[in-house]
Each structure stands twice: as structure tokens, then as C-alpha cells.
Structure 1
């Protein structure tokens, strides 16, 4: 990998400087021919059908537009006779912007509240910014799907407690934080207590194992690995046979696309918005005698400032 590839964050292709002027810097991106897996029949092929030059926009460099010209290779599969393009880590399929430009636009809203300002900063059109925001809106807030796992774990614990003596049931209830906490964060004493608690029930032990697998999935930094781990986690939950996890499985299956978007854009959260909504609802409940809407609006602005 050369220095230009490192600057552009491209790790699966080679980079050459194409041209530079007062307004634009352009690069030429190319790869070596190698066997690729056909997405239709899962057979490897190295036979090239044709080439296509794709123009891709990247993050501005030194206040200049950055354009990548990708020499895209079109493969022919001898097994099924179909054609397919090789895939790249730095650009998504059907898009003419790099993944890091998409992240750059999303992160620009941390200190920008204006669509126009975000488009100028990223040197893209406002239409592109709206499209990125549309992708972010099609995501599920992490809190909503994470709590499904913990609700299922708690329901398993509660059902197990029903067959316990009063003393033991009280101990499990008061020590539930040991079961829900990350095992890696527990002290040696609490780890020993956890192992003893899990010995009581096979279902509780399986549920705790599923929860730890889910935490491992969330801690993974690579989005591509997270997708694989999520599929494996769902298969593990379904094969466990624990009925308390059925609502979680349904929620994850129904919102699979949105959960993937949430994992991909991990720094984007609906938390602040939901916090503002909660403050407004609390003010609404305690302001039932307020008749002046302007005064009520000013109170909301002061509380959420």
C-alpha cells in the first residue's frame, strides 16, 4: 500500500495521482486481477468481461474537491455464465461517493445544524446530504434493540425464580445486576457468585451466554464482522429453544435493516432527541394550568437549551 492509499483510507486497491488544479484533486484507483467469488453460483472466476471507469467523490483535501476514478473490473463467471462487478471496501454498491464521505457528512451534524452548511463543508449538493440523512433515519436506536436482549434475559431469570424457595428467590432478585452486568467488568468474587447462580438452571446459563455473545457483537469495531456476528447470533438464539427470546428474535428479524444501519453509524443516536421529547412531555404534564402558549413555549426552550 502506498502513501496516497493511506491518505485516502483505501486498503484494497492501488492509488496514483491523476491530476491537480486550483479546485480539484483527482486520483486513479486500480486493482490487480485476482479470483473473485461469483455471487450467483459461489464459484471463483478470474475471467474479465470488460472494464468501466467509475467517478467517485471523496472528502475534500486542502479545500479542494477530491475525485477518484475507479477502473472497475467486470467479471464473467464460467460456471453460470453471469457477469458481476468486483466489490470494494471503500465504496458501497451503486453509490458515487466513498463510505468515509458518507460518515463525514453524518458527523458534520455534531457541530452543524444547517443542511446547506453541511453540503458546503463536504463539497456535495444538498440533495446528497438529504440522501445521507434518509439513510440515517432508517436506523434503529441502539437502546431499543439492546433492551430486547436484556428483557429476555430478565424474563428467563423471573421464570426460573418461580420454582425457587423464598430465600433463594430473594437472593436472585437482589443479585440480578450480577447476571445483567458484563462478565468482564465483574470482580472475582462476583464472577464466582455468577457461576454458582448459573449452575441452577440450564436456560439461565444459555440466556447469559447469549447476552455475552451480543455484547461481543456490539464491541466489535469492524462493521463487516458485526454483520457476520449478528447473523450467527440470531441463529444461536433460534437454536437455543428459549421461548423468552422469541419476542427479541421477532424484533430483530422485522427491523434487521435498521439495526444494521445503527451498527454501521454507531456514533449517530436518537438519544438527545428522545431526551428533549421527554422533557417536553414532563413540562406538558405539570403545566396543565398554563393558558398562554407563548409562555409554555418559552419554558420548553429554557428547559431544553
Structure 2
């Protein structure tokens, strides 16, 4: 038997047994406590023993359980009893600190059930270790509030989740467990330096708008243009399907085969695609009218100003053929309900395309790890310090420095103080780098 089998300086191995392929190790501490843990007195007497089962890292592929013969002491000075401390054991759980550290790192990748099978630790306990680790990671990160904030949703694990991005940098800065107004408003209310935000880009989800208006009063809200244009293409595709139902199989397959032609701008079509569109104009006049209407709606977003865009929309609305008006009904209703925020695009020219890209990457990460919980997925993407995480130096001035800066500013001075240690603040997760890491299997 190797007395140093555990490689723990505070314990000595007494016996090793094989129990159904697992190692059960009996051990004892080498040094008894010198003082009472309650009063500090050195006047101690033995007061019994107990056996504690501690989980440790696997050895040679075998799960390890350590039975520590723990001594109990009574202090003659204060009369209180205590068990001898176990330096190598985690304060909160019956496992070694090295196993806890190992589980913290591993819990971001394999499922909890797999780690439970490898170590013998219960999956619920591993979940609690992960929760503590994720909270520590979160506490160690401070995210910079962006000037242009993007809010969108991604459907993960049977639920829509709110995703926040720094639009100018195209960095993900937060993922929330749902997209309810209360959850979104709480996050926005807790943002530091909310005065930095000069614009918020959202999709047409009313709780986002309500939460932003309540927590960020006066900040312009812009409906992402891609969501609006997507509705125009969706209307055209719905009509294509309706028309296709009435056609013989051969023509229906042709319409299906060239469905990608309809969403494209006419200027982007090649000669073959334009010819196909001309053929449809003879066979499907309603579809041709709808395609022209779609093109006219897209032209609205080429307007140089808000007033010109509003004028173009009024003219487009008035020119819609009654035959296809119902086709664009959802788009007309959306524009009526969100007109102010839709037209705000022409004042600020911001889009949520960055958030749309992040959603695709988040789905890719989910596909790589079936069985992840949302919390694990969020920690893996957002909290873990991987290659896509961008940090920058940050100085957090203390109270005295803030006052001194105000006095210096009043006197016309602008010299920074050198007595505050620099920190780091997170800018978020770079989406393009995140994609590279996913393709390499590094996340």
C-alpha cells in the first residue's frame, strides 16, 4: 500500500479496498488541532471519533471515496466540542477542494450526469458546484454598458430567451432566461452608466419596448429594419404557397424550386431569374403584383430622411392593389402599431443584424452540447474567459477621486489620478471569434 496514494499532505492512508471497481480509502489526519476553534485555548481533550466519507478525484479511472477517521475534541476552557478541521476538504460539501476545483472547470462542458458517473458525486451536488462557479465568474466580470444596445430573442431549450448586444462592436453582453417584461426591465434597471445609452434597437416585441421606456426614459427605441423587411418577404412567400395549392404538380414544383427568387431585390437577380419572373407574370399575375409591392416597400428604406420615408410609405400604402392588400395585412398592421419606432430608424440608422448573428451562433453552441441547461450554455458563451471574450483596462474612481475630479474640472484641470489601481471591464463576446472557436471545437 502506498501511504502517499492520495498526495494530500494533511492525511495518511491506512487502507485501500476495492468496492465494485471503485477505490475506498481509509485515512486519518496527521496533525491534531493545537487550539480550540471557538476560544483559542490549547487545553483540549479527546472526546470521541466519527467516520466521514469524502469524495476525491478519480484515480486511474476509478472513483474514489475517502473514509476519514475524524477526531472530536472538548475544550476545557469553554466546554464546547468540535471535530478536527479537514484542510483538504471543501467547506460546503463533503469533497476535497481539488475535486471541487476540477468539477468547476469540467461543469462548463460535459453534462452533470456524466460527471456524476465519473466521480460518484450526485448530479444535484455538481449542479450546486456549477451554480457557485457561475456566480463567481459573474461577480468577477463587469460589462461595459454600450452606447447602442440591441435586444432580440433566441429560442433555446423550449423557451425564448432575451439576448443583449453591443451593436457597434457586435459583442454579446448578456443572455436572460426569458424575455418577459419584468426580467428585461430588471436587467436594464441594473445597468451601470445607463446615461451612455443613446439608442436601443429591438424587434417588434411589446415587452421590450415597455421595459426600455420605463427604465431608459428619453432613450430612442428603433425597430430593427430586418424584422420589418422580413414581414414583407413572409407575406410574399405566403401568397406563393397559396397560389401553389391551386396548381398542377409540375407547375407547383417549379414554383417551389425557384422560391428563392422572390425575396431577392430585382436589381440582384441574374438574367435567368429575371426571365423566370417574367414567365410568372403571365401565369401568376397576383404573385407578380405582390413582388412589385414588396420591391416598393424595400425602396422605403432607401429614403434619405424620416420625412421622405414616411411619405414613401403613405404612397406605397395607397397604391396597394386590393387583390393583394390582404396578403400584406400583417405588415400594414405592424407598421400602424409601431410606426414611430419603425421610422426612428431613419433618425439613427441602427439595426439589430449583430444580434441576429449571435442567435445563429448560440444555436450552434447548443447543437454541439445536447443536454445543456440554459445556465450552462450562458456561462459557456458569456462568462467563461475564452478567446472570444474581449476585455479592456478600466479605472473605477473612488469617492475621494470623484470629488477631486469635480474640483479639478471646475478649475480647468484634466490630470488623471495615479493612486487607483486599474481594473478590467468586459466589452462582451466577439461574435466572429466565437464562430471560429465553435468550428474548432474550442468552446
- Superposition pairs for residues 152-167 of structure 1, below 5 Å? 152-167=235-250
- 1:164 is paired with a residue whose SS is coil
In structure 2, the gaps of 5 or more residues are: 1-146, 150-165, 172-192, 201-215, 389-428, 431-443
Does 2:320 match 1:237?
yes
**Which of 230, 233, 246 does residue 150 from structure 1 map onto?**
233
- RMSD of equivalent CA atoms: 3.6
- 8 Å contact 1:203–1:242 — kept in the other structure? no
Residue of structure 2 in register with 1:67 after alignment = none
Q: How far is 1:288 from its partner? A: 3.6
Residue 287 (structure 1) shift: 6.2
Match of 2:301, SS state, is helix
Q: Which whole-Å deviations, capped at 9, do the CAs of 1:168-204 have from their partners, x for residues lacking one?
A: 1111111122222211222233222211112212311
**Residue 213 of structure 1 contacts residue 233 of structure 1 at CA under 8 Å; is this kept in 2?**
yes
Tell whether 2:193 aligns with 1:110.
Answer: no
* Cα distance, 1:225 vs structure 2: 1.6
Q: Is the 8 A contact 1:136 1:261 kept in 2?
A: no
Tell me how far apart the structure 2 counterparts of residues 187 and 175 of structure 1 sit (CA, whole Å).
13
SS in 1 for 2:246: coil
Judged with a 3 Å threshold, the aligned counterparts in structure 2 of structure 1 residues 231 and 129 are, in CA distance, closer, same or farther, namely: farther
* Distance change in 2, residues 1:238/1:257 (3 Å): farther
Displacement of 1:244: 1.9
**CA 112–220 in structure 1, closer or farther in 2 if over 3 Å, else same:** closer
1:261, 1:213 → 2: CA distance? 19
CA 1:195/1:238 → structure 2, altered by over 3 Å: closer, same or farther?
closer
Alignment correspondent of 2:306: 223
Aligned 1:143-292 pairs, distance under 5 A: 143-237=226-320, 239-266=322-349, 268-276=350-358, 279-280=361-362, 283=365, 286=369, 288=371
Residue 164 of structure 1, CA deviation: 1.2
User: More helix by proportion, 1 or 2?
Assistant: 1
TM-score, reference length from structure 2 = 0.36
**Structure 1 pair 283–257 and aligned structure 2 pair: CA distance change class (3 A):** same
Q: Distance in 2 between matches of 1:218 and 1:291?
A: 37
More strand by share: 2
Could you give the per-residue CA deviations for residues 100-128 of structure 1, whole angstroms, max 9, x where no partner exists? xxxxx869983699xxxxxxxxxxxx887
User: How far did 1:249 drift?
Assistant: 1.2
8 Å contact from structure 2 (residues 199, 221) kept in 1? no
- Give the whole-Å Cα distance in 2 for the aligned partners of 1:263 and 1:218: 8
Q: How far apart are the structure 1 equivalents of 2:310 and 2:236? A: 22
Q: Decide whether aligned partners of structure 1 residues 191 and 112 sit closer, same or farther in structure 2, where only a CA change above 3 A counts.
A: closer
Q: What is the rounded CA distance, in whole Å, between the counterparts of 2:255 and 2:359 in structure 1?
A: 35
SS at match of 2:351: coil
Give 3-state SS (helix, strand or coil) of 1:180's partner: coil
Q: 1:159 is paired with a residue of what secondary structure?
A: helix
Partners of 1:237 and 1:249 within 8 A in 2: no
TM-score with structure 1 length normalisation? 0.51
4+ residue stretches of structure 1 with deviation over 4 A?
Answer: 105-109, 126-137, 238-241, 277-285, 289-293
For structure 1, the residue ranges without an aligned partner over 5 or more in a row are: 1-104, 114-125
